Chain A
Amino acid sequence: MLVNFTPPSASEYIRVLPEILLTVGGTILMIAEGLAGERHRRGLAPMALAFLLLALGGAVVAGMDPGPAFNNMLTVDGYATFFRLLVLIVGILSVLISGSYLTRENADSADYYALILFSLCGQSILASANELIMVFIGLEISSIATYVLAGFLRNDKRNNEAAIKYFLLGSFATAFLLYGVGWIYGVTGTTNLQEIHRFLTSSESVYSPLLVSACAAMMFVGFAFKVSAAPFQGWAPDVYQGAPAPVSAFMTAAPKAAAFAVFLRVYSIAFSGLTERWQPILWVSAMATMVIGNFAALRQDNIKRMLAYSSVAHAGYVMVAVVAHSEAGVAAAMFYLASYAFMNLGAFAIVTHYVGKGERYVGIDDMAGYARQQPLIAALFTWFLLSLIGVPLTGGFFGKFYVFKSAIDSNLIWLTVLGLLNSAVAAYYYLRIIVVMYFHEPTNETGAAGPVPAGVRLALIGSAIGVFVLGVMPSAVLEFANRSAMLSR
């Protein structure tokens, strides 16, 4: 309210340090390119990395002094810090794998890195948004940057298709979200999550539950689209397949994690009084997402498209944690998204390198006998795939374990059983890649992409360590998630 406006204090600025650093970094990158000219393009990726590391430090600093900022529009709690760190790490890994790809495609430019930074800025806002308008703003900043990234290779038809599809459908879904926000403001007179919660649970308030449910449903459309949950997952395979490989890696990890962050926050705070209304719908959505993702992935021969469907399926597992609607569920979702980010980025990092110039080698069969040529890379790929399957001692296993444990604790026994069976189905298509890499003999095309560049190597090692740590010593991350899962209402 403008009447009792007080200028924000210094500590409030510190709480948005990552956003500030990302915005400044993105802007400097764009200016620097103009000043330095063509010849200095090699320095762009390191520069972007430097800004990301700064922002990572900023997120840690911001997280050390938790609290609300800017009239309670943002709230920097453990939950927000967790997701900020997560998306920033994803950003770093994505930039690491992008350098060699962009050089190969002759698309080196500062815009790319600036867009990644801006997109991360939006996601960082999403992680800490405590108010529906901020949710919308964060979502738009994040999305618009990703729309452009999806079509970054301007001369490529599939890139354009991906971008247009993503943009049109994405805008439509966000419009639903905004409409829902408008209605809820109409009903409750506020956009602040805690106040909405208080209004909806107070015995004195007068409102139509049906109308509020409609608001929740419309916002579900927006969120479900962003996290690629059924029945709004249709865009995902086309976009992830069509977008440049490193962008797909980024999109399946960071924006998705941030969208889940805000999804969970809105539903566990604002709509926590209406659980019995939205839980059945989300139950169906989670189930459908898993089934569609896994069964469609079974039939794919294009490795990117398969990973795209797998990404849909994994969104389904996280949805299970959302349906559980408990602190354990929130913590499980956080843990799952972290481990998914690592294993998925690892897998996409290899694909990014492997597809070669013009993304020629995208069939699963193109990887025939890869283990003979690059035993280490094939072993790492296997490690990520085993994690995606959910074999114990990998991060993916603990992710699934915590998700389904939270579901059992919330008495969702059928969802657990069906979800776990789904994950057994999923084993088949991940195994196909291992089969091809290890059990088939190499062809002439195998390994045409040549040796693996340093950036990709670094990202691979980072992701592999991430998957290992989350799979063998998950305590620290889980503790953090558990402590942060208590969202203040």
Chain B
Amino acid sequence: MTLLDIVLFLPLVAFIVILALPKTLSRTLALATSMGIFIVSLGLLAPFLGKPTSAVSFETNLIWIQSPAIRYHISLDGLGLWLLLLSTMLTPLCVLISWNYITDRVKEYYAFLLLLEFGVIGVFVSMDLFLFYVFWEVTLVPMYFLIGIWGHDRRIYATVKFFLYTMAGSVLMLAAILYLYSRAGTFDYPMILQLLSSGRLQLTAAEQLPLFLAFFIAFAIKVPLFPLHTWLPDAHVEAPTAGSVMLASVMLKMGTYGIVRFCLPMFGNAAHQCAPVIIALAIIGIIYGALVALVQPNMKKLVAYSSVSHLGFVVLGIFTFTQQGMDGAVYQMLNHGISTGALFMLVGFLYERNHSLEIKSYGGVANVAPVLSVIFMVTTLASIGLPVLNNFVGEFLVLQGAAIVSWKYAALAGLGVIFSACYMLWLYQRAFFGEAGEGVRHHITDINKRELLAIAPLVILMVWMGTGTSLFLKPITAVNAQILEQSKINVEYQVKAPPAPSAEPAPATTAAVVEVARAR
């Protein structure tokens, strides 16, 4: 049993313990266990510090079900590492921000929060396609209840929509996983990659494209990529604050993580083939999300649409197939997790005080709550990509990657950065500056210690990740380089194995196509 097994199963144990003990203890228990899990999970950093390596650590590979062989195969590499730590860090913070807000069915609430943590950790460490699918679906259930029970007015509509969208996407992925099994004879992901790279498993173009799409659509719904994003604003607006934070910071990353982890290495050809369309959709998402955010009267909805825009950057970065773009994309996943998570928390703080999400019921908050306003300002600046803060690094790398492919992509995506400054600063101006109205003066108090404790780690990380980039980026770069290599192997192999077995492949063509692939 490795440390990773412990980190994975502790939330499940905590879930059971919380359910078993009386509800007066639930809150404290949830905080204690989730803090404990976070501290334990920091131990996972050990193998990754200092040396940039694409090697996996903490591997456990056991048989779960004999036939067909389904393995409990988990391991951690630089790609999963930070996302896992993000999840374990956010869970105690989510407990903190729910401390007084949740008064109804307390026990179930914290139990579901821990169950959610179990699911997302599982997603980031699974190395068996079947196991991955199991965790992928398991995350649905707690989130469904978190939104459905503790959400706002239209919560039922939002949560059912969330569940059905995700479910519809993931059943297609299940079909693709089953098909891969029938071709490869295993669900074990590293094994499948090995079969693919050694050429013992060859997926023809006609097979790759549908398989790629089945996986990609499941992930794209989760991301969400335009035009599959419509569930997101509903879910975010209706979810309780902690639900929004987990949804934005962690669950959306499951989609982009899946694309990087599975779609690129397994279906390199199809990914390259679809890249122009996907890039176009990503750019539309960036601009559309930003423009829609601009006109939102509701703060939470504004942040939700800004997520659509930010995640567009991530997808754009991935499909540039450049080291910079990929690094930026993965870095941006973390950045978005931190800055948008923080934004949702801050909006939640305001909501708890004034019971309104409408921007127009605020104004002049800076006069009555200076500390809260400063933190909001820092977060806003981080979110719009001010240098020295975290988002700048990610967006810069993504734009650099995009520029390598085509200056047009970079220019269009750059528009999104400008728009993001518009909507965020305008929001800040309307909510925090000006004369404090009656409602604001009566209800808004400055941030309290508990809230400060919850948001402080995120603010520190915004600065740290903006200045100490290399520490965070090193493990990611190594893995990305490997994934890029794997997605290229497939491109070459399709050329090496033409459908006609008798004729020798024309060398000129081979070289040309490989050249094209390299250039892309």
Contact between A427 and B167, CB atoms less than 8 A apart: yes
* B160–A408 touching, CB < 8 Å: no
> By the criterion CB–CB under 8 Å, are B182 and A386 in contact?
no
Asked if A391 contacts B141 (CB within 8 A), the reply is: yes
Knowing A392-B137, A392-B138 touch, does A417 contact B175 (C-beta < 8 A)? yes
Residues of B within 8 A of A424 (CB): 164, 167-168, 171
Contact A393 B160 (CB under 8 A): no
* Residues A405 and B171 in contact, CB atoms below 8 Å apart: no
Identify which of A77-85, A235-243, A336-344, A431-439 touches chain B. Answer: A431-439
Determine if A409 and B137 form an interchain contact, defined as CB atoms under 8 angstroms apart.
no
Does A478 interact with chain B (Cβ within 8 Å)? yes
B155 and A421 form a contact (CB under 8 A): no
Within 8 A of A (CB), among B167-203: 167-168, 171-172, 174-175, 178-179, 181-182
A435-B156, A439-B155 given; A423·B138 CB < 8 A: no
Does B163 touch A at the CB level, under 8 Å? yes
With a cutoff of 8 Å between Cβ atoms, the chain A residues found around residue B137 in the complex are 391-392, 397
Q: Which residues of the other chain, A, contact B135 by a CB distance below 8 angstroms?
A: 392
Q: Are A428 and B164 in contact (CB under 8 A)?
A: yes
Return the CB mask of B133-151 against A: 1 if under 8 Å, else 0.
1110110110011001100
CB distance from A339 to the nearest CB of B (A): 14
Q: How far in angstroms is the closest Cβ of chain B from A411? A: 8
Q: Is A420 interfacial (CB 8 A cutoff)?
A: yes
**B148 A435 Cβ-Cβ under 8 A:** yes
Q: Kindly provide the distance from the CB of B487 to the nearest chain A CB, expressed in whole angstroms.
A: 25
In the complex, whether B65 has a CB less than 8 A from a CB of chain A is: yes
When C-beta atoms are compared, the residue in chain A nearest to B183 turns out to be A408
Once the chains bind, are B175 and A404 in contact (CB under 8 Å)? yes
A420 to B167: give the CA distance in the assembly, Å: 10
Q: How far is A393 from B68 in the complex, measured between Cα atoms in Å? A: 16
Q: Does B502 contact A (CB under 8 A)?
A: no
**CB atoms of A417 and B160 under 8 A apart:** no
Task: Check if A420 sits within 8 Å of B182, measured CB to CB.
Answer: no
A14 to B: closest C-beta gap in Å? 31
CA distance A439 to B154 in the complex (A): 11
B100 within 8 Å of A (CB atoms): no
- Report if B66 contacts A (CB, 8 A): yes
Please encode chain B, from 113 to 151, with 1 for each CB lying within 8 Å of some chain A CB and 0 for all others.
000000000000000000001110110110011001100
Give every chain B residue within 8 A of A391 (Cβ-Cβ).
137-138, 140-141
Does A479 interact with chain B (Cβ within 8 Å)?
yes
Considering the complex, which residues of chain A in the window 466-489 have a beta carbon less than 8 Å from any beta carbon of chain B? 474-475, 478-479, 482
Chain A residue numbers with a CB within 8 Å of B181 are 405, 408
How distant is the Cα of A401 from the Cα of B70 in the complex, in angstroms? Answer: 12
Given the known interface contacts A405-B178, A413-B179, A479-B67, the answer about A421 and B141 at a Cβ–Cβ threshold of 8 Å is no
Known A391-B140, A392-B133; judge A404-B174 contact (CB<8 A): yes
Q: Scan A375-411; emit 1 where CB is below 8 A from any B CB, else 0.
A: 0000000000010010111000100010011001100
Name B residues whose Cβ lies closer than 8 Å to a Cβ of A.
Answer: 65-68, 133-135, 137-138, 140-141, 144-145, 148-149, 155-156, 159-160, 163-164, 167-168, 171-172, 174-175, 178-179, 181-182
**Can you offer 17 A-B residue contacts whose CB atoms are under 8 A?**
A389-B167, A392-B138, A405-B68, A405-B178, A405-B182, A408-B175, A416-B178, A417-B175, A421-B171, A424-B168, A427-B163, A427-B164, A428-B164, A438-B145, A439-B159, A474-B65, A475-B65
